[in-house]
Structure 1
Amino acid sequence: MSKQKVISEDISLLREEITGLRSELDRFRNEVTRNQTNSLFNEFRNQFAVDFINGSLENAFSLIGNEAKECPGWVKCEPVFVSFFEQLVNYARNGQVSEENISKMRSNFDEIKKHEGTENCSNCLQQVEGYFNQQVGLLHTIGVYQSESDTRSQVQNLHVEDVSSLIGDPLSSSVRVQILKALYEEGRSFTELSKLTELRGGNLLFHLEKLQNRGMIRQRSERGEYQISVQGYEALNSIAELVGKLGLNYSKI
């Protein structure tokens, strides 16, 4: 083998390695950007909820305090109410505003109401409960809190044709799910997917086009490697979550 041919082959190998490294770097950058964006958005939303609750409660307690200033029990009641709302703030800050935790808070408030001592108690308790419901409504509006009824409503509002088109068709084949799994963490070439699925030519291309047409995967360029899209990534995550909730055997999926 001539020296020139050896050099040519080395250059070819280097190009392949560089192309592979670029692909990995792009995939990593996209993944980090997506995760950072979701994390920053959730953090911003939770902090907004905390700031809004604290600001509105400051005004609320000021108003209640003015009305209850003649009540001898307000000095003891105020810290109890403050502690009650601090729990809601902590839930919002930590992204834990669940239906279970809201139900716990309502039960705790029912216990507080059992200790009414004066004629003013009923009025104060009604106002505090009203403010609490307002805060829960706010958290619901900005998407920090969702109840089971919200989920039921979302289910009822599902457009069956859209769902079937989005999920049923592209994911109705075990081969296409296998392809998505293979692309979950890294891009792969047609040749690599062919070896993985044991399909060749048009047979494999049929499944790839199905996934591409539904936006589950994309191809970097003509004859370039295939990568999972955000839609495909989230669809696969949702399937994994569903499998876990149903208690199915992952090894058979």
Structure 2
Amino acid sequence: MNNPEVYDIKAKLEAIHQDIKRLMEKSNQEYLDIMLANLKNDLINSLTSYVSDDIEHGLHRGMVDPCQMRETCKSRFTEFLENNTSLIGQENVSKNIIDEKRAELDEIRETAPFDKCDICFSEVNSLFEKQLNLISSRQIYSNTEKKQTEISSIPEELMVKSVLEPLSNKQRLQILKSMASETMTFTALSELTGLRGGNLLFHIQKLLESDLILQRHERGDYMITKKGYNLLLMLSNFLKFLEK
């Protein structure tokens, strides 16, 4: 068997290998899609079931009793709240739809004949707000359209290279923090981080390449840049957000 034939066989085997690899990747992706779809349906069913039970228990517990209109009002409230459960399973719920629901509840309130109706409507409104919170938890309401657009526009490669990768190391974060209020020498950074020679230089270079710090002159002190300082402020604010 001459060399061209060997090369031809190898090429065909490689092509078959690539076809099998693509088929496996496609199968795995299809399986993953099915699994995620089932999890999504289970979540929606669980939320819907929870909301329906909450409506029954909430109205039974929170409405005025005795009241001659109790059963009539309970039936109307239940219908209003049950109709909202369908929104939980939708991919997108616009602000207009929510506003229409609020207006519908206001119209029902206007027909209430007694002062004590405020007690019942307070319970209905509480249940309605809980429904909105559940809808919001699925990120299909709460004015997320602009936020989603901003998130989708994040440049992954640039974000990883200029932000995530430089700060993914404890020593690099130490170095950046140390320069928030003063310049630092190589020796001082070595004492701070416990790193020596090339190991320390590697991390400093990462921060220099990301424009988070700069060296004032050759062999001179290192100092933080505006970009680096703003990034530290962002991290500080993020931690405050997590603590809420």
TM-score using structure 1 length: 0.51
Shift of 1:136: 1.5
Identity %: 16
Distance 1:151 1:33 in 2: 32
**How far apart are 1:152 and its partner, in Å?**
5.2
Q: Deviations over 1:64-92 (max 9, x none)?
A: 3xx43322122221121111111111111
Q: State the match for 1:25 in structure 2.
A: 23
Match of 1:68 among 64, 67, 78: 64
Change (3 A) 1:83 1:93: same
1:115 equivalent to 2:111? Answer: yes
- 1:23 Cα deviation from its structure 2 partner: 2.5
Q: CA deviation at 1:41?
A: 3.5
Distance 1:15 1:39 in 2: 36
Partner of 1:176: none
**1:79-158 alignment runs, 5 A limit:** 79-140=75-136, 142-148=137-143, 151=146
| Structure 2 unaligned spans of 5+ | 162-244
In 2: Cα distance, 1:101 partner to 1:38 partner: 27
Structure 1 partner of 2:46: 48
Partner amino acid, structure 2, of 1:109: L
Work out whether residues 64 and 120 of structure 2, in 8 Å CA contact, stay in contact via their aligned partners in 1: yes
Deviations 1:94-113 (A, max 9, x none): 44544332222111111111
Which TM-score applies when normalising by structure 2?
0.53
Checking the alignment, whether the CA contact within 8 Å between 1:91 and 1:97 is kept in structure 2 is yes
Aligned length: 160
| Gap regions ≥5 residues in structure 1 | 171-253
Instruction: Return the offset for 1:146.
Output: 3.0
* 1:152-171 matches, cutoff 5 A: 163=154, 166=157
Cα deviation per residue 1:181-221 (whole Å; 9 max; x = unaligned)? xxxxxxxxxxxxxxxxxxxxxxxxxxxxxxxxxxxxxxxxx
- Counterparts of 2:6 and 2:148, CA distance in 1: 63
State the 1:14 CA deviation: 4.1
Structure 1 residue 51, shift from structure 2 partner? 2.1
Residue number in structure 1 paired with 2:233: none
In structure 1, distance between residues paired with 2:110 and 2:143: 28
The letter for the 2-side match of 1:147 is S
**Matching residue's letter, 1:146:** Y
Question: What amino acid is the match of 1:89?
Answer: T
- Distance in 2, matches of 1:168 and 1:38, equals 27
2:54 aligned partner, one-letter code: S
1:77 aligns with 2:73: yes
Measured in 2, the distance between the counterparts of 1:118 and 1:151 equals: 42
Could you tell me how far 1:38 is from its partner in structure 2?
3.5
Question: Counterpart of 1:147 in 2: which secondary structure?
Answer: coil
Residues 206-253 of structure 1, C-alpha deviations (whole Å, 9 max, x = no match): xxxxxxxxxxxxxxxxxxxxxxxxxxxxxxxxxxxxxxxxxxxxxxxx
Most deviating of 96-105 and 109-118? 96-105
SS at structure 2 position matched to 1:72: coil
The structure number with the bigger radius of gyration is 2
Aligned to 1:187: none
